[in-house]
Amino acid sequence: MLAAQTDYAAAQFMKGFILNNADMGLIVTSEEKFSPQQREEVLSVLRERKRHAGMADRPLFLSHKVQVEKPHLNAADLQFLENRKFSRQEICSIFKVPQTILGYTEDANRSVDEQQSANWIHNVIAPLCRRLEAALHPLTALAGPGVAAWFDTDTLPEMQAARRSRVDTAVKLFGLGVPLNDLNRELDLGFPEYPWGRVGYLPQNVKPAEPSAD
């Protein structure tokens, strides 16, 4: 909650800053003490100076040896955008959501984006789907035997791409003689168990390396 509240307060600060034409306000000082009437006159002039957002403010004229100072942004305000980025990263880490899912891609490339999306689905979305399936099981059981409800996360594009990568790895290992059933089990390819899948195969042009007779 702290990170979310901090980011909300920062957004409210920026909104007010822009609506005030990026004006932090004015500080009026005088060598003499203002009377109530003079104080009201100064406040009236300051109010008259302000205009709506997007319009330049009116000139300001004050007398009675009055000085007008304009406050400047301090070091913390100058780090405003960096602080908001840190709050965003903290919120995303709490909810285990990659920043690329939210559309922030300034620090990511395509391969990193795809990997983060696949990890997010596998480690966050899929476990949540399993919990929802378990919660729905009593309802589906009332519908009769053989009725079930599940989330088919394997059909998502990110998971399909991850499966294609595992299949490419399986093809290379199968060429080294690893049985298909072992590859299916270790790489979670999703294929059924085949009777011939317990046998390893090698290309015919492969033969053991033996020392030369010479």
Give the integer Cα–Cα distance in Å for 139 and 144.
Answer: 10
Q: Tell me: do 118 and 128 sit in the same domain.
A: yes
Q: How many CB atoms lie within 10 A of CB 162?
A: 20
Same domain, 68 and 26: yes
CA 95 to chain CA mean position, Å: 9
Mean pLDDT score, 61-77: 64
Domain that holds residue 144: 108-150
59, part of any domain: yes
Of 60, 80, 100, the residue that ends a domain is 80
Residue 209, in any domain of the structure: no
- What is the distance of C-alpha 198 from the center of its chain? 44
26 and 74: one domain?
yes
| pLDDT (mean) for 51-56 | 56
Residue 143 burial (CB < 10 Å; 0-12/13-18/19+)?
exposed
150, pLDDT greater than 80: yes
Q: 19-28, 110-119, 133-142, 192-201: which has the minimum mean pLDDT? A: 19-28
Tell me if 206 is assigned to some domain.
no
Nearest to 66 by CA among 95, 91, 52, 46: 46
pLDDT greater than 70 at residue 37: yes
Per the rule left: phi > 0, alpha: psi between -120 and 50, beta: everything else, 103 is left
Say what the pLDDT of residue 132 is.
92
